[in-house]
Amino acid sequence: MSEQKVALITGGGGGIGAAMARAVAARGVRIAVTDIDGAAAGRVAAEINERHGAGSAVAFPHDVSVEADCTRAVAETIAAFGSLDILFNNAGISVSTFRPDAETNLPSIAEVTPELMTRFFSINYMGAVHMIRAAVPAMVESGWGRVVNNTTSFITMLRVLPYGPLKAALEASSAVWAQELDGTGVTVNVLVPGGPTDTAFISDGAGIPRAKMLKPEVMGPPAAWLASPESDGITGKRYIAGFWDTALPELDAAKEAGAPIGWPDLATATRLWPGQEPGKGPGMGL
């Protein structure tokens, strides 16, 4: 494995993905920017190369809903840089893609057709699954790796169909993967902005004042820390970027902004599980 770490960021052609790519590259990590919009990915990679030197970044066009594209993204990253150590699962689509005001005028049961649900499922959930399946085996073999999944806020999970429930599925899966990979040197964590973010992901038609939104750059400092050796051994956590205090040492900022993945404190009925002590059981991270 090459000495310099390598990160692949899906949906890296703009918004949150581009902000994370810039911040992680500034940490000395080489970056593979992948996006369904190959030209946008190329612009971000070109910016990183101009700032940090030729060969700091490459760009590929990939569709995360297609398993073969995800396998190819990993293979092309390894071909370009010699390894893949860090995976940011950021690619996704929002409800603004089918109705501009859907972030605030919430979609109904009738509106979320099976076809629409399948589209969101294939991108917002299976995209991460495909990427993890393609990327993680080599990380485990090398004994070091990072998986960082962008889910969403709890309130969105409970309010916004079909986006929220599918991000809840990715949140739960992240907890499962963290447990499965514990002890391998590969960590799994969640990183979210913490609220509406000023990117094209949210349409102007949503009616949310952009001046009140979080800026995508808030994702940069925690993403850079999660990609670094300084976060070794930290797994099964979710970090809210909006709570990350850059005035603090990184580990202190992480403690302030972090909590266990999936709100295990909500699992109050675990005493009903056979063989479990009160307060312990599935969902409690124990």
DSSP per-residue letters across 92-107: ---GGGT-TTTTTSPP
Question: What is d(CA 77, CA 59) in angstroms, rounded to the nearest whole number?
Answer: 9
64 three-state secondary structure = coil
Question: What is d(CA 199, CA 262) in angstroms, rounded to the nearest whole number?
Answer: 25
Is 2 or 59 the better-scoring residue by pLDDT? Answer: 59
197 three-state secondary structure = strand
Tally the domains of the chain.
1
91 three-state secondary structure = coil
* H or E element that contains 35: strand 30-35
* pLDDT tens digit sequence for 206-251: 888 888 888 999 999 999 999 999 999 999 999 999 999 999 999 9
β 6-10/86-89 pair status: parallel
**Residue 130 maps to a domain:** yes
**Residue 280 maps to a domain:** no
**Residue 193 maps to a domain:** yes
Range of the domain at 39: 6-272
**Residue 278 maps to a domain:** no
* pLDDT tens digit sequence for 87-129: 999 999 999 988 999 889 999 999 999 999 999 999 999 999 9
β 237-240/30-35 pair status: unpaired
* pLDDT tens digit sequence for 135-150: 999 999 999 999 999 9
**Residue 235 maps to a domain:** yes
**Residue 282 maps to a domain:** no
Q: In the chain, which ranges are continuous DSSP H helix?
A: 15-25, 38-52, 67-81, 114-120, 126-142, 154-157, 163-181, 220-226, 250-257
**Residue 22 maps to a domain:** yes
By annotation, the residues acting in catalysis are 163, 167
The tally of CA atoms less than 13 A away on the side-chain side of residue 246 is 10
**Residue 281 maps to a domain:** no
Residue 133 sits in a domain whose CATH number is: 3.40.50.720
Question: What is d(CA 80, CA 182) in angstroms, rounded to the nearest whole number?
Answer: 29
- Taking phi first (over 0 means left), then psi (-120 to 50 degrees means alpha), and beta for anything else, what does residue 83 get? beta
Question: What is d(CA 255, CA 258) in angstroms, rounded to the nearest whole number?
Answer: 5
Residue 84's φ and ψ, nearest 5 degrees, are -140, 115
How confident is residue 270, by pLDDT bands cut at 50, 70 and 90?
low
